[in-house]
Amino acid sequence: MKKVLMLFVIFTFSQIAGAVQTENFGWEGTETILGMYPAGGIIAQIATDPVHGGSQSLYIEENDSKGTSQAFVALITGLQVGDTLDAEFWRYDTTPGGSPSIRIWAHWISDPGDINSYSVSAGGNDDYGPGTGWDLTSWSWESTADSLHSIVIEARIYSAVGDAGWIDDMTITAPDGATITTPGNVSLESGTWADIKAAF
Ligand SMILES: [Ca+2]
């Protein structure tokens, strides 16, 4: 009876708590990015101008001749098949119709403990934006297979070496059972909750 009650409480709590958690990240601390591809392909720094919200943003500079380097800005692990994940950030671009430009993109990884364990591209938003200052770009991804549990969100820059762009005010929305990692920050509560659920 006690176990049945416990299961009931957990089930009820999961319904009341709602299906999703939201993490906002605005680069207001000292951390920049979680990683990059290729190695050395991105120069990332905290910037103070331009800024979308707060007093800081993220500066990303292209440092690879291929010109499509990826800054890893969030990691979401613990997704279940059928889960949907939403991510968005503001980007700053003042070159309409030309580079440098930034897209929101993502890739799945095979090992949730290794952000560099690339598995397969997850695609993203093709839109380069108007290039008239700040604009919000967003995309949604769905976990459709057991191999697609962990995803890295990229700010992907398209430019020549030395060109740069800025992003700010990222929002990640994921199911309660997932764990969201942003630079210097892990959603510990949801991680604990995922552990509780996993125990049943
Ligand atoms: Ca900010």
What is the 40 CA–ligand 1 centroid distance (Å)? 24
What is the 95 CA–ligand 1 centroid distance (Å)? 21
pLDDT in the model for residue 13 = 52
Residues of the chain with pLDDT under 70: 1-18, 188-200
* Options 2.10.10.90, 1.10.260.40, 3.40.50.11260, 2.60.120.260; CATH of 20-199: 2.60.120.260
What is the 88 CA–ligand 1 centroid distance (Å)? 14
Please give the model's pTM, rounded to 2 decimal places: 0.86
pLDDT in the model for residue 187 = 81
Q: Could you tell me where the DSSP H helices lie in 122-187?
A: none
The residues facing 153 across adjacent strands are: 74, 106
pLDDT in the model for residue 16 = 47
Domain boundaries, the chain: 20-199
CB 106 within 8 A of CB 194: no
Predicted confidence (pLDDT) per residue in 104-118, tens digit: 999 999 999 999 999
CB 95 within 8 A of CB 199: no
CB 200 within 8 A of CB 7: yes
Predicted confidence (pLDDT) per residue in 23-46, tens digit: 999 999 999 999 999 999 999 999
What is the 190 CA–ligand 1 centroid distance (Å)? 24
What is the 89 CA–ligand 1 centroid distance (Å)? 11
What is the 82 CA–ligand 1 centroid distance (Å)? 32
Q: If we measure between CA atoms, which residue out of 33, 67, 45 comes closest to residue 154?
A: 33
Amino acid at 73: V
